[in-house]
Amino acid sequence: MNMSRKLKIEQESRVDYGIILTIIILALIGLISVYATTTMINGENIAPTLFHALWYAVGSIAVIVVMQFNSEQYWKLSTYLYGLGLLLLVFVLIFYDRQLAAETGARSWFRLGSLSFQPSEVVKPAYIIMLARVVTQHNHEFIERTLKSDWLLLGKIAVVALPAMVLIQLQNDLGTNLVMLAITGGVILVSGISWKILLPAILIVVALAAGILSAVVFFPDFLIENKLVQAYQINRIKDWLEPFADTRGSGYQLAQSIKAIGSGQLLGKGLGVSEVTVPVRESDFIFTTIGENFGFIGASFLLLIYFILIYQMVQTCFKTKNEFYTYIATGVISMILFHILENIGMNIGLLPITGVPLPFISQGGSALLSNMIGVGLILSMRYHYKSYIFDNDDF
């Protein structure tokens, strides 16, 4: 009996049009929301909407560029990209925008004429790629996992994570650091580390969070006097616990956000119609515009589009079966998912307020560019993947 085996390549579309269509829908929602907020509600000219469209154009070019590199090239470039990211984080501490720092308290932006740029946003994709390389390389070195090797992996992750997180914290940017923690946590959860390590670690984090909340509630003066936290951070926790306790002071923004979203009811008031004033509505609180203008139905539709996007990203990850790409995809998904949960959560009072924008919707070029690069990394998985099928004949 003569047996031969031929290798065939399954021809599939190299471009994931499903993800692209989802991003286009989010782009349309973003442009409409920014226009409704800045021009129709705030009475500004159309410039913010045009800038948002321009950043989408820049992001689209970034997606095309990112897609051209395959996993081997990203593996080789990972240390250089991450090193460049760290240099940007150092430079912004020196050459930060003094005016924005005075307004926001964060030294996180470069200023070039009328444009501002936040380097920590583009550091996120570089960090994800570097983290994916570290975990993949470790797992190939230690095929037989032990508790000792798992602790070693956690140490390697810490060596990569701490420099970036320390530099970001020196910028006084807690929101971005929370995103970095979410990325790191997501990668750790799928890295294969034993639950004998993860479960106690999770319990310690929960206990620590409970202890911090208790200290904020019962010993706020002690924390402020010893410079463990800043006064505005204490106020944000208190406002989260009691949203309507100080509606004319520190709790004004959260109270107005909840009122705006609630006033939209089921179908909303219509595009550009607003009866509730919400500060910083065009960026971190743009979800209030969606809730007030389009109601529960409009907000639910946005959540559905986000769910479809995340689902498609997970499906792409399963189809390509590349360990390095798997960790990259996990980091990107963790980044986008945390942004969604934190932003919407803080808008409706479920989570404390942090400076985390709504992905693909909020006005802000740096964050949009970061998310588009993340999408490019996911699309690159499919773009460079070939499915091999073995066929037997000539029996």
DSSP secondary structure of 205-264: HHHHHHHHHHHHHH-HHHHHHTTSS-HHHHHHHHHHHSTTS-TTTTTHHHHHHHHHHHHT
**Residue in the structure block whose two tokens are 């095309």:** 64
**Residue 385 binned pLDDT confidence (cut-offs 50, 70, 90):** confident
The first and second tokens of residue 194, run together, are 């034993």
Domain-located, residue 266: yes
Our count of domains for the chain comes to 1
CA angle 257, 259, 263 (to 5 degrees): 120
CA–CA separation, 100 and 112 (whole Å): 12
**Chain Cα centroid distance, residue 210:** 24
Task: Quote the domain boundaries for residue 39.
Answer: 13-393
pLDDT score of 203: 94
Domain-located, residue 121: yes
Domain-located, residue 2: no
Residue type present at position 202? I
Domain-located, residue 134: yes
CA–CA separation, 135 and 158 (whole Å): 11
The SS3 assignment for 226 reads coil
Domain-located, residue 5: no
pLDDT score of 159: 96
DSSP secondary structure of 18-33: HHHHHHHHHHHHHHHH
Q: Which helix (H) or strand (E) holds 387?
A: strand 387-393
pLDDT score of 12: 52
Is the pLDDT reported for residue 339 higher than 70? yes
What is the chain's mean pLDDT, rounded? Answer: 89
Is the pLDDT reported for residue 10 higher than 50? no
pLDDT score of 36: 95
The mean pLDDT of 262-287, rounded to a whole number, is 94
Domain-located, residue 4: no
Domain-located, residue 7: no
**Residue 176 binned pLDDT confidence (cut-offs 50, 70, 90):** very high
**Residue 1 binned pLDDT confidence (cut-offs 50, 70, 90):** very low
The mean pLDDT of 113-121, rounded to a whole number, is 84
The SS3 assignment for 68 reads coil
**Chain Cα centroid distance, residue 45:** 29
**Chain Cα centroid distance, residue 54:** 20
Q: Is the Cβ–Cβ distance between 48 and 100 less than 8 Å?
A: no
With a CB cutoff of 8 Å and minimum separation 6, the contacts of 123 are: 85, 86, 88, 89, 164, 168
pLDDT score of 387: 42
Q: What is the pLDDT of residues 296-308, one digit of tens each?
A: 999 999 999 999 9
Q: Is the Cβ–Cβ distance between 328 and 380 less than 8 Å?
A: no
Domain-located, residue 283: yes
Supply the pTM of this predicted model.
Answer: 0.91
Q: What is the pLDDT of residues 69-91, one digit of tens each?
A: 999 999 999 999 999 999 999 99
Rg (CA), the chain: 23
